Amino acid sequence: MKKIVKELAKEAGFIFWENEEWKPKGAAIDWSSDYDKELEKFFKLTVEYAESDRKFSKQLKSNMKKLEKELKE
């Protein structure tokens, strides 16, 4: 997980795995919670960050175009 994504997810309130023995290999976020509010906050933070960082904004737009293309297939 990229550093900025991790930072935004933490700020949004997602719960991250620590050193629990039952942690899935390679997992960062514990997805067993209801993240409706956190997901909305994460989206808002991501948009704010993209607006303030041109490089991130270009990368986000590129990724969205790829995702849209994949969803149409």
- Per-residue model confidence (pLDDT) at position 22: 93
- Mean pLDDT, residues 2-30: 93
CA atoms in the 13 A half-sphere facing the CB of 72: 6
- Per-residue model confidence (pLDDT) at position 47: 87
Top pLDDT among 61 and 8 is at 8
Predicted TM-score (pTM) of this structure = 0.68
Domain count, the chain: 1
Q: Model confidence over 21-71: pLDDT tens digits?
A: 999 999 999 999 999 999 999 999 998 888 887 777 777 778 878 878 888
Range of the domain at 68: 3-72
Q: Which residues contact 27 (CB under 8 A, 6 or more apart)?
A: 17
